[in-house]
Structure 1
């Protein structure tokens, strides 16, 4: 589960504190899941390390051990575990599977969305406990979600329970870096690049360099990354043009993470890549376009790993690759409320909906056979559940169940 990934991060942070060399291979408990997460870890081959003058002057404790966590939005486990079936080409990640430790599959939290899942990864708590229960905050009076609500949710202060892993690392004297990682706005992270994902433009024509360069901490890093962004070149492929701005953002994030690792060598680096999920939503799960984006993501991960070698810290770095959630292929959808309303069986009174002739079921009595799934909703506020839906499916061979 995602919480087990947090526990691994937490243990590794304490390894850094004591300068231990071992690598914890128990990353995530394997299990069948509705939404799958792929988690990989690798203690990279040995290279001679060297000291970093910038870090010595930063006030943070110098360390010979480092952790790099890269999350890939929407990467279901089958994309890397069953490449022969999906025809997905990700050679670097496949190499990590062969040489490192990995979980065949894992179970996401509920709701299985980007922000709730990432909050669970960094705190080790369920959404009901850390309070991040959606990607967008629903505005009841307006009856809709807004971009402003999502921007609010991106702030670290919205995490109400638990200690995020970056606070644990900082408390132990380690420098922390974040590149595009959700929920890190205002987190007090030493090297913080573009905290969140909602500020990205919705249209390719709206892409502007200042979008990705805004809010970088410290400000002195902005000039360096401005030069990096000017050199970012995304492969010109017409069939993935619809999401090319998201892909360009990921190319920039990989380049930014590489620059920070090479020059500052933080003890903990957090990176989020979001274009793969955009490709799945726009083109479909098994489309050629989606596979092209996965290949690009694989090369970006290899680029970040290459920066560890250039920095001379490869032998002391634990690289963790994880996903927040996966997707299910949908052939058809059915909205029962529409049919019930047309038949005169469903009426609305303000925000409340009532089904004529039906007895209201309690949360615990609604789906008694599926308590193993419903436990995820325990503690979630009613206002969150009002707009939620649980889908139950039987595990398949493809999903590892």
Structure 2
């Protein structure tokens, strides 16, 4: 299959929203891409609209129930910090970077979710130390490219302050610039999280979030500059995208409090879950309810109590889906139910205290709760994200009115002359320059 470009750089600005588009038009480097490329300001995301399912969708072209990444974290009831879907092995089927490497292309990825131990040439995975006896550097080295990461840490490690932002994205930026200069990968995947972090802890439209957008514009400018200086500009396609939007919230709903009151979650004297028959797995703006062994009596009991709660808006449950209905929307059909939060609410896995907590600044400072989150239904109003394509193989001045996140992977593959096979999404031919 003929390719449209030799080099493709996919830049994910986590939590970049369609509502940000007017500001992007005024920022110099985003505006530069918009003025010479093509874009969609209304990209519908997936369900649940979380970072890890979204990024797996972007590189597979499939919904979560098909690629297997149905949440950010694993179902591990009672764990204070559940493990995430860090590893490539969790993804079912092929990916954009798999197909690129199979075609003899050089691949690179910087903090792209769900890539730990992936077969990527130059690779710094997004994974963190989640055990007391683990160290961050050792975990990263073990799950990515050993020598490459050592080089990046030696050159730019001083920029980091653990996972704190904006320092982490500053480190990722310098690593990306160095990788473009020295490795010249045919496919580069880069994930920036500064904006997402600021929105979580300060609110969607906070000054902190707006400052992150301005920092992202400068980061984008640095990447554009290194492409020009390296002589790669005319041979490169740049894809700038978001994975989901976010919504402000003021109340945290804890369905596990209810399940514990019903005797379906057992907690010992030390406050640890020792057994469960039903459990709420939070996806922030939505939540799965899992029931062990598909116990019909428990299923009916839980559904009735949740339905009673949902009758009053103050309880924060906007909608209850069956597992089958969740599957039809691309989510995990193995769940007994899926809950959708109302505006101003989100779900947590807490099982202590009241069913609903009002979120305070102190809670957010202590990182018990957040002021904005995602995971909501893609059908929520003003909840779309964006895609901007510019450079080699992209026609100028084309606006695609609407598209879906599942369309991005097949389109990126086509740009490189690759094929992801039968996907839920489709190649958006409007973005491809006519021969």
TM-score by shorter chain over 0.5: yes
Give the drift of 1:174: 0.2
Deviations 1:210-256 (A, max 9, x none): 4897448543334532343156489xxxxxxxx98232111111111
Whether the 8 Å CA contact 2:43–2:384 is kept in 1: the answer is: no
Describe the shift of the 1:334–1:274 C-alpha distance in structure 2 as closer, same or farther (beyond 3 A). Answer: closer
Whether the 8 Å CA contact 1:276–1:290 is kept in 2: the answer is: yes
Give the drift of 1:260: 1.1
Describe the shift of the 1:215–1:98 C-alpha distance in structure 2 as closer, same or farther (beyond 3 A). Answer: farther
Q: In the alignment, is residue 376 of structure 1 matched against residue 329 of structure 2? A: yes
Indicate which of 279, 300, 319 corresponds to 2:219.
Answer: 300
Deviations 1:248-288 (A, max 9, x none): 11111111111111111111000000121010011111111
Equivalent residue, structure 2, for 1:56: none
Describe the shift of the 1:305–1:219 C-alpha distance in structure 2 as closer, same or farther (beyond 3 A). Answer: same
Displaced runs of 4+ in structure 1, greater than 6 A?
338-341, 356-361, 397-401
Equivalent residue, structure 1, for 2:147: 220
Equivalent residue, structure 1, for 2:101: 170
Describe the shift of the 1:184–1:337 C-alpha distance in structure 2 as closer, same or farther (beyond 3 A). Answer: closer
Equivalent residue, structure 2, for 1:109: 46
> Matched residue of 2:44: which SS?
coil
Whether the 8 Å CA contact 1:170–1:176 is kept in 2: the answer is: yes
Deviations 1:180-214 (A, max 9, x none): 11111111111002x0154599xxxxxx9948974
Consecutive unaligned residues in structure 2, runs of 5 or more: 266-276, 279-297, 309-318, 342-375, 386-400, 403-435
More strand by share: 2
> Matched residue of 1:308: which SS?
helix
Whether the 8 Å CA contact 1:115–1:134 is kept in 2: the answer is: yes
Alignment of 1:2-401 (within 5 A): 15-16=2-3, 20=4, 65-79=6-20, 81-83=21-23, 90-140=27-77, 143-144=78-79, 146-147=81-82, 149-150=83-84, 153-160=85-92, 162-193=93-124, 195-199=125-129, 210=137, 214-215=141-142, 217-230=144-157, 232=159, 245-330=164-249, 332-333=250-251, 335=253, 347-350=262-265, 351-352=277-278, 354=301, 375-377=328-330, 380-382=333-335, 385=337, 395=381
Consecutive unaligned residues in structure 1, runs of 5 or more: 1-13, 22-64, 202-207, 235-242
Structure 2: how far apart are the matches of 1:130 and 1:244? 27
Q: Which has the higher contact order (CA 8 A, sep 6+)?
A: 2
Structure 1: how far apart are the matches of 2:143 and 2:218? 25
Deviations 1:3-31 (A, max 9, x none): xxxxxxxxxxx544xxx45xxxxxxxxxx
Structure 1: how far apart are the matches of 2:168 and 2:230? 23
Give the drift of 1:311: 1.6
More helix by share: 1
